[in-house]
């Protein structure tokens, strides 16, 4: 089941993503590639939600912030400190924004993909796992076979009464 999350601009607590929530729906937000003119000014700012997701991922992963920072630094080759992570997740420090270039490494280290999922789904994209991908491929194969069967039936109707040398 999909849950919809709105921005938490500077607010943690009420309305924050529930622990373990895995799906986001951007239906309450303007789509990334929609008409810019129809989006209300100031409504596409995700800083509060990003801070909540970063803080929850760090709290739930079982690693200290020093360990998280060290692992991200190792994976990215960039300097990342515990202090930076604290600033990225603090409601009181909205001027510190979590950099996109750290997102994949952060999600890998914490084992929490909600930050990636949140960004993609707010942009109107869908995130699927390996099982979902296999189901998608199964559906495609089913449609191929169904269309092939329909083509064969059409040829059979056309060729009805034609003698086949055998």
Phi and psi angles of residue 72, each rounded to the nearest 5 degrees, phi first: -65, -45
Yes or no: say if 42 and 29 are a contact pair by the CB < 8 Å rule: no
Beta pairing partners, 56: none
Q: Over the stretch 114-160, which tens digit does the pLDDT of each residue have?
A: 999 998 888 888 889 999 999 999 999 999 999 999 999 999 999 99
Distance CA 68, CA 165 (A): 74
- Which residues does 124 contact at the CB level (< 8 Å), separation at least 6? 26, 31, 32, 33, 34
Q: Over the stretch 28-78, which tens digit does the pLDDT of each residue have?
A: 444 555 667 777 877 777 888 999 999 999 999 999 999 999 999 999 999
């Amino acid at each position: 089941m999909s849950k919809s999350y709105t921005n938490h601009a500077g607010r943690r607590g009420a309305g924050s993503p529930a622990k373990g929530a895995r799906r986001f729906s951007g239906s309450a937000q303007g789509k990334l590639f929609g008409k810019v003119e129809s989006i209300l000014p100031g409504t596409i700012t995700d800083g509060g939600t990003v801070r909540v997701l970063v803080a929850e991922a760090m709290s739930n992963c079982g690693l200290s912030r020093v360990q998280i920072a060290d692992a991200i630094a190792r994976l990215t080759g960039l300097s990342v400190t515990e202090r930076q992570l604290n600033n990225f997740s603090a409601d009181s420090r909205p001027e510190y924004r979590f950099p996109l270039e750290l997102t994949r490494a952060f999600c890998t280290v914490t084992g929490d993909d909600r930050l990636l999922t949140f960004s993609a789904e707010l942009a109107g994209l869908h995130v699927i796992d390996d099982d979902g991908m296999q189901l998608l491929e199964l559906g495609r194969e089913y449609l191929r076979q169904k269309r092939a069967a329909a083509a064969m039936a059409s040829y059979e109707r056309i060729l009805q009464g034609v003698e086949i040398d055998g």
